[in-house]
Structure 1
Amino acid sequence: MAMEDTSERQPRQSPDEFGALYERLRRRAAGAGGGRGALATLTPDTVRAAAAEVRSGRTVTLASPVETEPTPDNPRPAGHRLTSPPEVTADGTGLHFATDHFSMDVHGDADSHLDALCHVVYNGTLHGGVPAATVTADGATALSVELARNGIVGRGVLLDIPRLREVPWLEPGDHVSADDLVAAERSQQVRVGEGDLLLVRVGHRRRRNETGPWDAARTRAGLHPTAMEFLAERRVAALGSDSNNDTAPSPTEGVGFPVHVLGVHALGLHLLDYLQFEDLVPLCEQEGRWSFLCVVAPLRLPAATGSPVNPIAIL
């Protein structure tokens, strides 16, 4: 399908500008997480405070359905087969079980997933200077998704950028700036604070639902790298989006996924990619608020670089 070229609207970022931004964020986060990265901001106090967000008791998924058919943005879809279809007797008597086998390319461009802190290798290290050699063919021995084994539970805040701009979605190649995030806070009468799970809607899933899949690895909307200073200043616990979080093409010369580098590697943020907020938005509009209790429970995969997830918002 033909797509609008928005690359000229992206403020380009030189390697020197990116390097200076990376160092600022890395220094801000240095030693603050005690090996847990930004999850250290999720304390018993912040979880108790987040529980107070539950008022109506309505729950809604933030995950996209897992897909098993190839599409332009998902050429290696999840595999699913019944390993033991029930062989029910003619009279329907007796006990039988149906069993399944699943497989998934976790870090694809369609399925909802969590990026662990070992997912991003930059200049030979992981977050906090952990050697990249800790990630081997047998798995990660440090900073794996096991860090989040007790769940990521806190106050979720959804900032809806298409709503702010009065459009159904941001076009592929467009980006979200720090000014957009501040303006969305003002428009939605909410403020992102320490320990929050910041969720940024760009409308990727709605566009995909209405116009069909496209090669999202080549072009998609996301955050501009400079927006990550907003997250550092507010000391958020995690970042999620209905896209990959990174804009494509990258606005940073020589760095393909600058938001991943700044978020995961510099700030120690677990990233949630390819969520969907189309079920959540109408509930937020009905209740007149954009914050809620959010529960993210990755699978216990002790050596994995990520996990499929089904985050739940509780209003």
Structure 2
Amino acid sequence: MTDALLAVIQEGVRAYDLGRPMSIGMPQSPNHPAYWHTLPRRHGDMVRSDGGSAANDMITTGTHVGTHIDALAHVSHDGKLHGGVEVADAMRGGGFPDHGVHTIAPMVRRALLLDVPAALGTDACEPAYEITPADLQQAEALTGTTVQPGDVVLVRSGWGRRFDDGAKAYLGQVEGVPGVGEAGAQWLADHRVHAAGADTIAFERLAPGGGHSVLPAHRVLLVESGIYIVEALALEEIAADQVREFTLVLVPMNLVGATGSPVRPLAVISDRSPDA
């Protein structure tokens, strides 16, 4: 008997890659170690007797660089992590055995794209624009369905278009960056989502010249609600195709005790014609 999920896959699916390519010099938060790639062995450095040769790589990177997920260990408030656990008690052996990214189960979940600029009738949100609960509700209406407990909600601001323009354009350190505010984060928490993501460097609104000085949405989601955050998503293609409900496949690296992990999320939809 063919598994129902396998049957759908055999009939045809389309996968949208929501992850950013990782490359030297890509935009990233200055708070994290940069991505670096090198070839310690090149073709020809060693040649086997049969003429074969191999190259290999070495990479270094922070865990919050490129498209990545924040584990519950990433942010504390008043010295406590999610569940009211004291940071001093949570960090053991140089990591977080109970709050680390290795505790995030692989995600194969229903997801919704809340396309805020589409809801507002614009191409992209303005710098430092705060995405409010009303904005999220308007974007939710465009999906033709509602956010349910356990869903993953991805919020598009349109800021992701700036990623390929470099760090100055994408980080918005002078003009600020649009994103969900504290009230919007509470709206997501009230809907009991499993994870929330966005196309910006920090998910939430960054004030002009403020950088990462205050992160109330991180507090609401990670610390108070136990909701994971995914940042620096590539959402333009899926938004252009008006795909707003889909299956999200997201698997963090199994980094024991780490506060986050690079990810390459996929938005998967049926490739069948509606009339098929």
Length-normalised TM-score, structure 1: 0.73
Alignment of 1:59 onto 2:10: no
1:258 to 216, 235, 238: 216
CA deviations over 1:246-277 (Å, ceiling 9, x no partner)? 11129x9x970000000000000110011111
Asked whether the equivalents of residues 72 and 213 of structure 1 are also in contact (C-alpha less than 8 Å), the reply is no
Could you tell me how far 1:57 is from its partner in structure 2?
A: 0.5
Alignment of 1:101 onto 2:58: yes
Distance 2:148 2:8 in 1: 15
Could you tell me how far 1:212 is from its partner in structure 2?
A: 6.9
Partner SS for 1:268? coil
Aligned counterparts, 1:173-212, within 5 A? 173-209=128-164
Q: From the two aligned structures, give the one with the greater helix fraction.
A: 1
> Which stretches in structure 1 are left out of the alignment for 5+ residues?
1-47
The residue type paired with residue 80 of structure 1 is H
Distance 1:192 1:297 in 2: 22
Partner SS for 2:236? coil
The residue type paired with residue 267 of structure 2 is A
Alignment of 1:80 onto 2:24: no
Distance 2:76 2:111 in 1: 28
Q: Please identify, of 210-219 and 131-140, the stretch whose mean Cα deviation from structure 2 is larger.
A: 210-219
The residue type paired with residue 224 of structure 2 is A
Q: How many residues align?
A: 258
Partner SS for 1:307? strand
Partner SS for 1:279? helix
Q: Please identify, of 289-298 and 274-283, the stretch whose mean Cα deviation from structure 2 is larger.
A: 274-283
The residue type paired with residue 87 of structure 1 is G
Alignment of 1:279 onto 2:225: no
- When residues 208 and 162 of structure 1 are mapped into structure 2, their CA distance, relative to the original with a 3 A threshold, is same
Asked whether the equivalents of residues 124 and 157 of structure 2 are also in contact (C-alpha less than 8 Å), the reply is yes
- When residues 217 and 125 of structure 1 are mapped into structure 2, their CA distance, relative to the original with a 3 A threshold, is farther
Aligned counterparts, 1:73-152, within 5 A? 77-87=34-44, 93-108=50-65, 111-133=66-88, 134-135=90-91, 138-148=94-104, 150-152=105-107
RMSD: 3.1
Asked whether the equivalents of residues 116 and 271 of structure 1 are also in contact (C-alpha less than 8 Å), the reply is yes
Distance 1:66 1:303 in 2: 23
- When residues 72 and 191 of structure 1 are mapped into structure 2, their CA distance, relative to the original with a 3 A threshold, is closer
Distance 1:167 1:54 in 2: 38
Length-normalised TM-score, structure 2: 0.83
The residue type paired with residue 137 of structure 2 is V
Distance 2:73 2:30 in 1: 23
Asked whether the equivalents of residues 112 and 143 of structure 2 are also in contact (C-alpha less than 8 Å), the reply is no
The residue number in structure 2 matching 1:308 is 262
Could you tell me how far 1:71 is from its partner in structure 2?
A: 5.3
The residue type paired with residue 254 of structure 2 is R
The residue number in structure 1 matching 2:204 is 246
The residue number in structure 2 matching 1:297 is 251
CA deviations over 1:50-75 (Å, ceiling 9, x no partner)? x9899851001111111312658569
Partner SS for 2:114? strand
Identity %: 28
The residue number in structure 2 matching 1:42 is none
CA deviations over 1:74-126 (Å, ceiling 9, x no partner)? 69530000121121789995332211111112225xx1111000111111110
- When residues 269 and 154 of structure 1 are mapped into structure 2, their CA distance, relative to the original with a 3 A threshold, is same
> Which stretches in structure 2 are left out of the alignment for 5+ residues?
270-276
Partner SS for 1:301? coil
